[in-house]
A and B are shown apart, each in its own frame.
Chain A
Amino acid sequence: MSAAETDAADTPAPTRAWYLRLMRDPSALVAALFLLAVCVVAVAAPVLSPHDPFASSRSVMVPPVWAETGSWTHPLGTDGQGRDILSRIFWGTRLTLVIGLVSVGIGGFLGSLLGLLAAFRPGLDPWVMRLVDVMLSFPAILLGLALVAVLGPGAGPVIVALAIATVPDCARIARSIAVSVMNQEYIEAGRALGLPARQLFLRYLLRNCVSSIMIFISLRFGQVILIGAALSFLGLGARPPTAELGMMAAQGRDFLLFAPHIAVIPSVMIFLIVLTANVLGDALRDVLDPRLRS
Chain B
Amino acid sequence: MMTQVLNRLIISIPVLFGVLLLGFCLLILVPGDPAIVLAGPTATPEVVEAIRQEMGLDEPVLVQFLSYLGRVLQGDLGRSLISNKTVVSELGAAVVPTLELMVACLIWSIPLGIALGTLAAVFRGRIIDRAIMAVSVAGVSLPIFFICLMMIHFVGVQWRLLPFIGRGGPLWTVEGLRHIALPALSLGAIFIGPVARMTRSSVLEVLKLDHVRTARAKGLSETQVILRHGLRNALIPVVTLVGLQAGYLVGGAVVTESIFSYPGLGRLAVGAILSSDFPLAQGAILILALGFILINMVVDILYALLDPRVQA
Report B1-40 CB contacts with A as 1/0, cut-off 8 Å: 0000000000100110011001001100111000000000
Judging by beta carbons under 8 Å apart, are B281 and A145 in contact? yes
Judging by beta carbons under 8 Å apart, are A271 and B143 in contact? yes
Judging by beta carbons under 8 Å apart, are A145 and B269 in contact? yes
Give A25 Cβ to nearest chain B Cβ, in Å.
Answer: 13
- Give complex CA distance A257, B259 in Å: 15
Asked if B106 is at the interface of the complex by the 8 Å CB criterion, the answer is: no
- Give complex CA distance A227, B274 in Å: 18
Judging by beta carbons under 8 Å apart, are B29 and A263 in contact? no
Q: Say which size band chain B's interface belongs to.
A: 35 or more
Residue in chain A with minimal CB distance to B12 = A137
* Interface segment out of the listed B52-60, B226-234, B289-297: B289-297
Asked if B254 is at the interface of the complex by the 8 Å CB criterion, the answer is: yes
Most chain A CB atoms below 10 A, which of B22, B144, B254: B254
Give B111 Cβ to nearest chain A Cβ, in Å.
Answer: 23
Neighbouring A residues of B289 by C-beta, 8 Å: 137-139, 142
- Give complex CA distance A278, B193 in Å: 13
Report B194-213 CB contacts with A as 1/0, cut-off 8 Å: 00000001000000000000
Q: A150-B25, A256-B157, A271-B143 are in contact. Are A234 and B270 (CB under 8 A)?
A: yes
Judging by beta carbons under 8 Å apart, are B251 and A149 in contact? no
Neighbouring A residues of B248 by C-beta, 8 Å: 139
Asked if A110 is at the interface of the complex by the 8 Å CB criterion, the answer is: no
Judging by beta carbons under 8 Å apart, are A235 and B141 in contact? no
Residue in chain A with minimal CB distance to B158 = A257
Neighbouring A residues of B270 by C-beta, 8 Å: 145, 234-236
Out of A222, A234, A263, A294, name the residue touching B149 (CB < 8 Å): A263
Judging by beta carbons under 8 Å apart, are A271 and B141 in contact? yes
Residue in chain A with minimal CB distance to B254 = A141
Neighbouring A residues of B140 by C-beta, 8 Å: 222, 274, 278
Asked if A229 is at the interface of the complex by the 8 Å CB criterion, the answer is: yes
Which parts of A212-236 form the interface with B (CB within 8 Å)?
A: 222, 226-227, 229-230, 233-236
Out of A137, A246, A268, name the residue touching B293 (CB < 8 Å): A137
Judging by beta carbons under 8 Å apart, are B153 and A256 in contact? yes
Asked if A250 is at the interface of the complex by the 8 Å CB criterion, the answer is: yes
- Give complex CA distance A123, B34 in Å: 41
Residue in chain A with minimal CB distance to B16 = A137
Give A273 Cβ to nearest chain B Cβ, in Å.
Answer: 9
Give B133 Cβ to nearest chain A Cβ, in Å.
Answer: 10
Neighbouring A residues of B255 by C-beta, 8 Å: 230, 233-234
Residue in chain A with minimal CB distance to B138 = A275
Judging by beta carbons under 8 Å apart, are B281 and A270 in contact? no
Judging by beta carbons under 8 Å apart, are B26 and A150 in contact? yes
Give B289 Cβ to nearest chain A Cβ, in Å.
Answer: 6
Asked if A75 is at the interface of the complex by the 8 Å CB criterion, the answer is: no
- Give complex CA distance A150, B25 in Å: 8
Asked if B121 is at the interface of the complex by the 8 Å CB criterion, the answer is: no
Judging by beta carbons under 8 Å apart, are B273 and A141 in contact? no
Judging by beta carbons under 8 Å apart, are B251 and A141 in contact? yes
Give B237 Cβ to nearest chain A Cβ, in Å.
Answer: 9
Neighbouring B residues of A150 by C-beta, 8 Å: 25-26, 29-31
Residue in chain A with minimal CB distance to B144 = A230
Give B248 Cβ to nearest chain A Cβ, in Å.
Answer: 8
Give B161 Cβ to nearest chain A Cβ, in Å.
Answer: 16
- Give complex CA distance A12, B296 in Å: 44
Judging by beta carbons under 8 Å apart, are B149 and A278 in contact? no
Asked if B146 is at the interface of the complex by the 8 Å CB criterion, the answer is: yes
Asked if A67 is at the interface of the complex by the 8 Å CB criterion, the answer is: no
Which parts of A89-132 form the interface with B (CB within 8 Å)?
A: 130
Judging by beta carbons under 8 Å apart, are B15 and A137 in contact? yes
Asked if A249 is at the interface of the complex by the 8 Å CB criterion, the answer is: yes
Q: A133-B11, A149-B278 are in contact. Are A230 and B292 (CB under 8 A)?
A: no
Residue in chain B with minimal CB distance to A252 = B149
Which parts of B102-144 form the interface with A (CB within 8 Å)?
A: 137-138, 140-144
Q: Can you name 15 A-B pairs with beta carbons within 8 Å?
A: A133-B11, A133-B14, A134-B18, A141-B250, A142-B250, A145-B285, A146-B26, A152-B31, A234-B258, A250-B145, A256-B149, A267-B143, A274-B142, A275-B137, A293-B201
Q: Which residues of B are interface residues toward A (Cβ below 8 A)? A: 11, 14-15, 18-19, 22, 25-26, 29-31, 137-138, 140-146, 149, 152-153, 157, 201, 246-248, 250-251, 254-255, 258-259, 269-270, 272-274, 278, 281-282, 285, 288-289, 292-293, 296
Q: Which residues of A are interface residues toward B (Cβ below 8 A)? A: 130, 133-134, 137-142, 145-146, 148-150, 152-153, 222, 226-227, 229-230, 233-236, 246, 249-250, 253, 256-257, 260, 263-264, 267-268, 270-271, 274-275, 278-279, 282, 293-294
Q: A137-B293, A249-B146, A256-B149 are in contact. List 13 more A-B contacts (CB 8 A).
A: A139-B246, A139-B248, A142-B292, A146-B22, A150-B26, A152-B31, A233-B255, A234-B270, A250-B145, A256-B157, A270-B143, A271-B142, A279-B137
Q: Shortest 6 CB-CB distances between A and B: which pairs? A: A139-B247, A141-B251, A267-B146, A275-B141, A274-B141, A137-B15
